[in-house]
Chains A and B, each alone.
Chain A
Amino acid sequence: MGGLQKKKFERGSATNYITRNKARKKLQLSLPDFRRLCILKGIYPHEPKHKKKVNKGSTAPRTFYLLKDIRFLLHEPIVGKFRDYKVFVRKLRKAYGKSEWTSVERLRENKPTYKLDHIIKERYPTFIDALRDIDDALCMCFLFSTFARTGKCHVQTIQLCRRLTVEWMNYIITSRALRKVFLSIKGIYYQVEVMGQLITWLVPYQFAHDHPTDVDYRVMATFTELYTTLLGFVNFRLYHSLNLVYPPKLDGKAEAELKEEDEEGYAMNSESYSEKLSALGGSLARVVSAGEEEEAEVDQFPVEGEDMEKMEAREKEQKELEAQKRLFEGLKVFLNREVPRESLAFILRCFGAEVSWDKSVCIGSTFDVTDETITHQIVDRPNAEKQYINRYYIQPQWVYDCVNAKILLPVQDYFLGVTLPPHLSPFVEEKEGDYIPPEKLKIMALKRGEKSAQEEEEEEEEEEEGEGEEEEEDEDEDAEEDEDEEEEDVAEEMNLKKMEKQRSQGKSLSVKVTPGKVKAENPARLEQEEKAEEKRLAIMMMKKKEKYLYDKIMFGKKRKIREANKLAAKRKAHDDAEKVAKKKKAKKQ
């Protein structure tokens, strides 16, 4: 029995983790510095598998970092910069205290700065890695670019954010990468596909923020510092991938157009160029002025069987995508002053429309309201005072719905003063058994090229009101069918149980003799019964662990069905109520 006694918590997972305080002490950093370092280097706590083991037997709540991560931080040159900064602050304070203004000035000039390039490269070794993580960066930059230039953060940061987001949007327009948009109550979601990566970001509506007091802006500022660096490098790379000039320059033609109109002078000369860029009006200058973009044709490879189908599906998808990219081509759209100009200009330009707006709204308008060739005018007010006969006056939701539906939707639902159809989220992908709102079904039918059954019926109904009620519900029932089936299963099982009980409980032996009835045995039914029982018996034999899992899955499934049913019922009640109201109105007339 030789050997040393093994001590607890000196090997294994206990040595792989380190608590936050210990890590801080090891790095000799203050908490804010440590926080900053973690944010910049992307170090986050890990949840150990066996918390008690790692916590040396204690169950106190602690956050753990990987020891390797902390060791990795030890060699970070930026830590030295942090210390320099601390020294700088101390010296500055001292100089202030002694009123040595020259030394204050001298110190100010030598304020230590740092760069984050190497950190970006280290965190995102490949460009695709960076793209994958750019969602948060975009959200943050778009938020910061809407901040007022007072107080909360440096003006330079805000300006930088604005510049980078404009660059990003210009890139998206040029590459026509926008896929989905969504007007939510929080803001506007955009989804783009860049180099095969789906990137989603959220832009708040253009309002002043009332800055909450319980938000630590220092944390946000640190993140923004990192994100602006990241976004800048990503933009650079993206621009170069399209042979565009970076920093972006307007196309010679577009520039010339803008020049002449720029008489009033919207801003100072130094700013006017960036303003023009941010108007999203003109196309960008290219390094090599290629006349036509040549699309790389996908080579055809001989494939067989299953792959063939996949290939075809892919081709079809590709075609659809191409069609979507040209969605608004040929349209000439004028934006009224009350609609969100930037968002609409961005979307419309992404799909090839020509856009303009009132001269007084923003720099860079290309044509006037009076232009006769305008096809659509986007208006968000109850009525327009002067209407041109040869253009559609539509509400802004039309643009967003068209993008999501990937087709040009009929405009009559979006005319002025018309109650808008619901705006659906394009991010929801319904699986089997999920609830699908009827509006979505309608759009899907429209895409398939049919005039939706519901619509026809509605038309019919207008003629002969009062009859076609049941028919109309057909559509809804289609959607519910899947759910009903599941429900039926449950109900059937209940029935079976009851029947069995009755059969076995042959208690009611009445003395009376009644003429026997020939029971028509349904073989299919019997078989079903047998199957159900078999399953029940098999479930009895499940192991405890599996049973638990099975029960959980089944519970989740049932809950999903229940929720879908609830939504369907709510919808039905709403529709019924509306129908009744409509009828009443008709009667009154």
Chain B
Amino acid sequence: GGGGGGGGRGEEGGEEDLSDSEDSVFSGLEDSGSDSEEEEEEEGGGGGGGREEFCEVLCAVQDIRNTVGNVPMEWYRDFPHLGYDLDGRKIYKPIRSQDELDHFLDKMENPDYWRTVHDKQTGSDITLSEEQVALVRRLQSGRFGDVDFNEYQPTVEYFSRDVMLHPVTNRPADKRSFIPSLIEKEKVSKLVHAIKMGWIKPRRVEDDSRGRYYDLWASEDSSILARHKMHLPAPKIPLPGHQESYNPPPEFLFNEEERALWEQQDAADRKLPFVPRKFSSLRSVPAFPRFVHERFERCLDLYLCPRQRKMRVNVDPEDLIPKLPKPRDLQPFPTTQSLVYRGHSGLIRSISVSPTGQWLASGSDDGSVRFWEVCSSRCLKTVQVGGAVRSVTWNPNTAVCLLAVALDSRVLLLSPSLADRQVVSASELLLSDKEGAEPVQGAESLVTWSEAEGEELNEGIRLKIQHPKAVHQVAWHAKGDYLASVMPDHSSHLQVLIHQVSRRRSQNPFRRNKGLVQRVSFHPLRPYFFVATQRSVRIYNLLKQEMTKKLQANAKWISSMAVHPGGDHVICGSYDCRLSWFDLDLSTKPYRMLRHHKKAVRGVAYHRFYPLFASASDDGSVIVCHGTVYNDLLQNPLIVPVKVLRGHAVSQDLGVLDVTFHPSQPWVFSSGADATIRLYT
């Protein structure tokens, strides 16, 4: 505003600091905030009279003009002076002893307070005259400072569109306007040269074919580019569902729970990329904030996303289920539980059915061997053997009636006399016959054969074979003369022993054993011997004394093994829930792995006549499967699970521990950790 003011008052010119003071006036006025209504009236009247006063004030001020220039005045804050006057003398700050109260009183009492401004440069207070106030007012309202200046006076047009008679200047044309320009020539020759050299191309004719459309597919040739064979068209954007509607049915809206879940989830995991919303009318629907984003993401997908042809499996799940013969056509097999044999107090580790099928022997952890009649579930006899029984096995020979019992490090041979007299006497004879026979030297050091005496004799125990280590299993040869016992031990080469009962002779058939022997079994017909270690089953030819086969069970730890009565098939149960069926003629790998059980398989068994096998597991179930073996070597065995038998209670994570078939009927016995034996018929 200062410049305008200065221009308007030419006669008072030469006062540079006037503008400064005006500035401060300006700010001072604003601060005071006084009402200006009364003053406006005075403005007109006091205009003429105030001029002399104004001059006087200026003269008074002139002497103490400050020469420091345009520097911030706070630089002089710590000095007693404010700067220097025209003669170079210090201008001292006026002594100001006014405090707030004085200020206030001044404000209240002094009628000119509102037009008093503080000049920072000289430190003095200046009271503005009427003239000055009027000037300030005018400038504030954006008018000229000079009252007399007429801003709307008519303009004088010096140059108009009319052609005048006389020129503005009468200077003759220059000579250079008649001579061809050298500079231009130079420029032209440069351009000509550039055009000649092809550096500059002539202006291109505007090609309007761009943006013009025509029938592009007028001549459709069906020759498909080779590239199109590999072309994978981008999938279309999925079409919207009900939940995307602006007014969806109420069930598609989120409730609080779903909404919280949606907010928690990562953007990639969300099922819907938006929250369904409901609007009462179309006019209240806002713009979708992510619209451009979604379009952009689609663009990115189109050119950045790797594509791959995925074959979608479109199968009926029913077609996946293999078509098996109906279990009804494969009867007979056990279907229902018919008898429960109770009496043991500990878990029953082993059961065995006599070859006649009339008696059932069971060995339990409570230290007893019990004999049951199969048909009536009556316990006929209990023999306390003094130790947890690991294994019981009937002698398969029908001519004798003998039971082998394994407990601790002993193998007991019992003659339970549960047959007609002839058989009993035959078995007694078998045991007592070789009393005088000389024991063979080699095995003497390993085991000791001793006869039972006294009480034990009355209970039916006839022979005791003392082993060096704990015996886990005993197995009879089909003829009933040989007996194999298993003593699992990692370090030793003495894990399997074969005993000949009639001659009371024992021998260690293997020079060394690899792995921990789990089970052994004799081939039912030929002189073969099966040894199951943790991972594999070895088959030895006893006559040639060599290993003929090694079956890889593909299991971590074999728990049980059974040999098919035909001798060409073996099943192995393992602690990792599997049951593997080996076809010895086919391969050393399992022909079929069955993962029917949920927990460790504890026992497996074949039926002697019927094409049945069963597996018992810790999940408390016995699964009976039909397993037909064909004489035709080209036809693979047919395995069909036919029945899941449940009944045993699971205690301490142990379910069914042993399973065995009745020798002649399609019945299956199972013994469990709940101290019962169950018969399913």
Selecting from B224-232, B469-477, B504-512, the interface stretch reads B224-232
Residue of A nearest to B245 (CB): A423
Shortest Cβ distance from B655 into chain A, in angstroms? 13
Residue of A nearest to B216 (CB): A233
Q: Is B200 an interface residue (CB 8 A)?
A: yes
Residues of A contacting B642 in the complex (Cβ-Cβ under 8 angstroms): 537
CB < 8 Å: which of A39, A126, A135, A205 contacts B285?
A: A205
Q: Is A500 an interface residue (CB 8 A)?
A: yes
Q: Is B286 an interface residue (CB 8 A)?
A: yes
On whether A541 and B641 interact (CB within 8 A), knowing A115-B209, A204-B291, the answer reads yes
Residues of B contacting A549 in the complex (Cβ-Cβ under 8 angstroms): 313, 315, 320
Residues of B contacting A211 in the complex (Cβ-Cβ under 8 angstroms): 292
Alpha-carbon distance between A186 and B279 when the two chains are bound, in angstroms: 13
Residue of B nearest to A571 (CB): B251
Shortest Cβ distance from A383 into chain B, in angstroms? 12
Residues of A contacting B222 in the complex (Cβ-Cβ under 8 angstroms): 125-126
Alpha-carbon distance between A109 and B204 when the two chains are bound, in angstroms: 7
Residues of B contacting A13 in the complex (Cβ-Cβ under 8 angstroms): none
Interface string of B287-309 (1 = CB under 8 A from A): 11101111110111011111110
Shortest Cβ distance from A523 into chain B, in angstroms? 14
CB < 8 Å: which of A45, A126, A186, A339 contacts B294?
A: A186
Residues of B contacting A509 in the complex (Cβ-Cβ under 8 angstroms): 340
Residue of B nearest to A189 (CB): B240
Residues of A contacting B300 in the complex (Cβ-Cβ under 8 angstroms): 219
Interface string of B218-251 (1 = CB under 8 A from A): 0011111111101011101101111011111111
Shortest Cβ distance from A535 into chain B, in angstroms? 7
Give the A interface residue count (CB, 8 A): 116
Residues of B contacting A212 in the complex (Cβ-Cβ under 8 angstroms): 292-293
Interface string of A99-112 (1 = CB under 8 A from B): 00000001001100
Q: Is the CB of A200 within 8 A of B294?
A: no
Q: Is the CB of B641 within 8 A of A540?
A: yes
Residues of B contacting A380 in the complex (Cβ-Cβ under 8 angstroms): 281-283
Q: Is B76 an interface residue (CB 8 A)?
A: no
Q: Is the CB of B245 within 8 A of A567?
A: no
Shortest Cβ distance from B261 into chain A, in angstroms? 13
Interface string of A534-554 (1 = CB under 8 A from B): 111111111010100110011
Residue of A nearest to B646 (CB): A504
Q: Is the CB of B245 within 8 A of A46?
A: no
Q: Is the CB of A540 within 8 A of B596?
A: yes
CB < 8 Å: which of A35, A220, A338 contacts B295?
A: A220
Alpha-carbon distance between A110 and B204 when the two chains are bound, in angstroms: 6
Q: Is A76 an interface residue (CB 8 A)?
A: no
Q: Is B142 an interface residue (CB 8 A)?
A: no
Q: Is the CB of A72 within 8 A of B227?
A: yes
Q: Is B158 an interface residue (CB 8 A)?
A: no
CB < 8 Å: which of A120, A200, A216, A506 contacts B216?
A: A120
On whether A425 and B240 interact (CB within 8 A), knowing A46-B306, A205-B285, A420-B247, the answer reads yes
Residue of A nearest to B640 (CB): A541
Shortest Cβ distance from A478 into chain B, in angstroms? 17
Residues of B contacting A127 in the complex (Cβ-Cβ under 8 angstroms): 217, 220
Alpha-carbon distance between A553 and B315 when the two chains are bound, in angstroms: 9
Q: Is the CB of A537 within 8 A of B641?
A: yes
Q: Is the CB of A574 within 8 A of B251?
A: yes
Q: Is A503 an interface residue (CB 8 A)?
A: yes
Shortest Cβ distance from A289 into chain B, in angstroms? 21
Alpha-carbon distance between A136 and B294 when the two chains are bound, in angstroms: 12
Q: Is A433 an interface residue (CB 8 A)?
A: no
Alpha-carbon distance between A215 and B200 when the two chains are bound, in angstroms: 40
Alpha-carbon distance between A47 and B310 when the two chains are bound, in angstroms: 11
Selecting from A2-10, A177-185, A260-268, A301-309, the interface stretch reads A177-185
Q: Is the CB of B203 within 8 A of A204?
A: no
Q: Is the CB of A183 within 8 A of B250?
A: no
On whether A427 and B240 interact (CB within 8 A), knowing A437-B251, A574-B251, the answer reads yes
Q: Is B322 an interface residue (CB 8 A)?
A: yes
Q: Is the CB of B639 within 8 A of A541?
A: yes
On whether A537 and B247 interact (CB within 8 A), knowing A64-B306, A232-B213, A380-B281, the answer reads no
Residues of B contacting A205 in the complex (Cβ-Cβ under 8 angstroms): 285-288
Shortest Cβ distance from B284 into chain A, in angstroms? 9
Residues of B contacting A122 in the complex (Cβ-Cβ under 8 angstroms): 225
Q: Is the CB of A45 within 8 A of B645?
A: no
Selecting from A234-242, A313-321, A462-470, the interface stretch reads A234-242
Q: Is the CB of B295 within 8 A of A542?
A: no
CB < 8 Å: which of A35, A135, A540 contacts B237?
A: A135
Shortest Cβ distance from A406 into chain B, in angstroms? 18
Residues of A contacting B49 in the complex (Cβ-Cβ under 8 angstroms): none
B35-53 interface with A by 8 A CB criterion? none
Alpha-carbon distance between A68 and B229 when the two chains are bound, in angstroms: 12
Q: Is A252 an interface residue (CB 8 A)?
A: no
Q: Is the CB of A423 within 8 A of B246?
A: yes
Interface string of A189-221 (1 = CB under 8 A from B): 100000000001000110111111011100110
Residue of B nearest to A577 (CB): B250
Q: Is A424 an interface residue (CB 8 A)?
A: yes
Q: Is the CB of A428 within 8 A of B287?
A: no
On whether A574 and B204 interact (CB within 8 A), knowing A46-B307, A113-B210, A125-B225, the answer reads no
Shortest Cβ distance from A461 into chain B, in angstroms? 19
CB < 8 Å: which of B302, B324, B326 contacts A44?
A: B302
CB < 8 Å: which of B213, B249, B298 contacts A422?
A: B249
Q: Is B214 an interface residue (CB 8 A)?
A: yes
Alpha-carbon distance between A505 and B327 when the two chains are bound, in angstroms: 23
Residues of B contacting A557 in the complex (Cβ-Cβ under 8 angstroms): 317
Q: Is the CB of A183 within 8 A of B282?
A: yes
CB < 8 Å: which of B211, B220, B236 contacts A125?
A: B220
Q: Is B385 an interface residue (CB 8 A)?
A: no
Q: Is the CB of A554 within 8 A of B317?
A: yes
Q: Is B321 an interface residue (CB 8 A)?
A: yes
Q: Is B274 an interface residue (CB 8 A)?
A: yes
Residues of B contacting A259 in the complex (Cβ-Cβ under 8 angstroms): none
From A49, A132, A237, A338, residue with most partner B Cβ within 10 Å: A237
Q: Is A519 an interface residue (CB 8 A)?
A: no
On whether A66 and B296 interact (CB within 8 A), knowing A125-B221, A136-B302, the answer reads no
Interface string of B558-600 (1 = CB under 8 A from A): 0000000000000000000000000000000000001110000
Shortest Cβ distance from A217 into chain B, in angstroms? 8
Residue of A nearest to B201 (CB): A110
Shortest Cβ distance from B242 into chain A, in angstroms? 5
CB < 8 Å: which of B251, B293, B303, B640 contacts A39?
A: B303
Residues of B contacting A47 in the complex (Cβ-Cβ under 8 angstroms): 306-308
Residues of A contacting B422 in the complex (Cβ-Cβ under 8 angstroms): none
Q: Is the CB of B283 within 8 A of A546?
A: no
Q: Is B652 an interface residue (CB 8 A)?
A: no
Q: Is B2 an interface residue (CB 8 A)?
A: no
Alpha-carbon distance between A373 and B255 when the two chains are bound, in angstroms: 47
Q: Is the CB of B204 within 8 A of A505?
A: no
On whether A541 and B299 interact (CB within 8 A), knowing A212-B293, A338-B283, A340-B282, the answer reads no
CB < 8 Å: which of B245, B251, B298, B647 contacts A505?
A: B647
On whether A106 and B321 interact (CB within 8 A), knowing A126-B222, A209-B287, the answer reads no
CB<8 Å pairs between A and B, sample of 21: A44-B302, A44-B306, A46-B307, A68-B226, A68-B227, A69-B227, A136-B298, A186-B274, A186-B288, A205-B288, A215-B292, A215-B296, A233-B213, A397-B247, A423-B245, A427-B239, A507-B340, A530-B328, A541-B594, A544-B595, A549-B320
Given contacts A127-B217, A533-B327, A540-B594, 12 further A-B contacts (CB under 8 A): A44-B305, A47-B306, A135-B237, A184-B240, A184-B246, A215-B292, A380-B282, A397-B247, A437-B252, A504-B337, A550-B321, A571-B251
Chain B contacts to A: CB under 8 angstroms: 200-201, 203-204, 207, 209-211, 213-217, 220-228, 230, 232-234, 236-237, 239-242, 244-252, 255, 274, 276-277, 279-283, 285-289, 291-296, 298-300, 302-308, 313, 315, 317, 320-324, 326-328, 336-337, 340, 594-596, 639-647, 649
Minimum-distance CB pairs A-B, first 3: A207-B287, A427-B239, A47-B308
